[in-house]
Amino acid sequence: MRPTTKAATSVGVRIKNISKSFGQTEVLKSINLDILPGEFFTIIGPSGCGKTTLLRIISGFHQPSGGKVFFNDQDVTYLPPWERNIGFVFQNYALWPNMTIFDNVAYGLKIRKKPKDVIREKVKWALDVVDLPGVEKQHPGQLSGGMQQRVAIARAIVIDPALLLLDEPLSNLDAKLRVSLRKHIREIQTELGITAIYVTHDQEEALEISDRIAILNGGMLQQAGRPEELYENPSNLFVAGFLGEANFIEGVLTASGHFQANSLKLSVPGNRPAVDTQATLVIRPENIQVVSSGDGHVEATLIKRYYLGALKRFVAQLADGTTLYLETFQDHTVGDKVWLELGKTRLICEEEIHASA
């Protein structure tokens, strides 16, 4: 059973108009985010979108080209990392191979000149928190990758940081271990009540463990919010496509309040545009149901079936050739003529967004 000692004081982090250029390349463009004390906040986005750069600016390893970083009300923009009271967990563990696990974990306490008995007690506490009691005398090379990363987490939390920063901590581990360790990280963060900022490119990981998520693309913030908000109400096509699977149907939102794409015509609640507007209808595969009657539903033929265990995925083709992915627990046969009920959709057209329940 792990101890439930709370971290000292967790901070809120305010990122205000942060931009960063390396030479002529602008890597971050005016990012604004507010991260609450005790929140598990994840930054995701495709490779090269600026996630690590933003985390390094929050930690003080990089300075921004413009903008400010606040911990609570304190402007820390130009404060060096060692004066920020942060714990940092790196992708590659970054343990010292020639030091014992005890010395690795104790390092931050030693440079803070803590008394020996305090160091012994805190190292034991941190190793208990990460479920690795009794490994003090071993060296990193004697431990598995997952255990080494847990030592790295112990080293980060042993100093009672106000903020825990984790940069893709699981990406060197195999799939099964990633899933169990991400749950463990979330449990530790919740037990300690510590603010955590977590960088990953794995959207499933982000959805599972985060209080809130920020999605970056091309150095720009696309959307920030709770996992459900981002998944169900994406504010643009990038977010809709990056998080989970989605069907995209390009068409026109008419002044009469309909979405029309070839033979598909749906009424859309919400504001009507003054003139017909190009729009994309976004619908998740699980929001398309196969139903028995044709009333108000869309006729289709199932042209492909993928077996995913309990869940089956089908490709359905509409009369005009449009194809849609759907996922269902019911089984069907390729070639079946069916009716489709389109459930929750999201319509994205320029600046305006219309949702249907």
Q: How many residues bind ligand ATP (CB under 6 A)?
A: 11
- For position 49 contacting ligand ATP by CB under 6 A, the verdict is yes
Q: Which stretch binds ligand ATP (CB under 6 A): 50-58, 117-125, 183-191, 262-270?
A: 50-58
Q: Is residue 161 at the binding interface for ligand ATP, with CB under 6 A as the rule?
A: no
Q: Which is nearer to ligand ATP, 81 or 193 (CB)?
A: 81
15, 27, 127, 166: which one binds ligand ATP (CB under 6 A): 27
52 binding ligand ATP? (CB under 6 A): yes
CB of 171 to ligand ATP, least distance (A): 9
User: Which residues inside 6-25 make contact with ligand ATP, applying CB under 6 A?
Assistant: 22
State the DSSP code for 141.
G
Both tokens assigned to 96: 């010292």
DSSP 262-297: TTEEEE--SPPPSS-EEEEEEE-GGGEEEES--TT-
The interface region with ligand ATP, picked from 42-50, 105-113, 203-211, 336-344 by CB under 6 A, is: 42-50
Query: Which burial class, exposed, middle or buried, applies to 354 when counting CB atoms under 10 A from its CB (0-12, 13-18, 19+)?
Result: buried
Buried b (16+ CB within 10 A) or exposed e, 50-66: bbbbbbbbbbbebebee
Exposed, middle or buried: residue 3 (CB in 10 Å: 0-12, 13-18, 19+)? Answer: exposed
Q: Which lies closer to ligand ATP via its Cβ, residue 31 or residue 101? A: 31
Token code pair at residue 180: 């169990």
Note whether 47 binds ligand ATP by CB under 6 A. Answer: yes
Contact 122, 136 (CB under 8 A): no
Query: Which residues in 197-216 contact ligand ATP (CB under 6 A)?
Result: 201
CA–CA dist 240, 246 (Å, integer)? 7
Applying CB under 6 A, the span of 49-57, 105-113, 229-237, 275-283 interacting with ligand ATP comes to: 49-57
Identify which range of 48-56, 97-105, 143-151, 277-285 contacts ligand ATP by CB under 6 A. 48-56
Give the alpha-carbon dihedral of 240, 187, 52, 176, to 10 degrees.
-70
Residue 91 or 277: the one with the smaller Cβ distance to ligand ATP is 91
Nearer to ligand ATP, 47 or 330 (CB): 47
Taking the C-alpha atoms of 202, 49, 162 and 166 in order, what is their torsion angle to the nearest 10 degrees? 40
Distance CA 332, CA 338 (A): 9
Phi, psi (deg, nearest 5) at residue 219: 80, 5
Q: How far is the CB of 216 from ligand ATP (least distance, A)?
A: 7
CB of 221 to ligand ATP, least distance (A): 13
Nearer to ligand ATP, 48 or 257 (CB): 48
Where does this chain bind ligand ATP (CB under 6 A)?
22, 27, 45, 47-53, 201
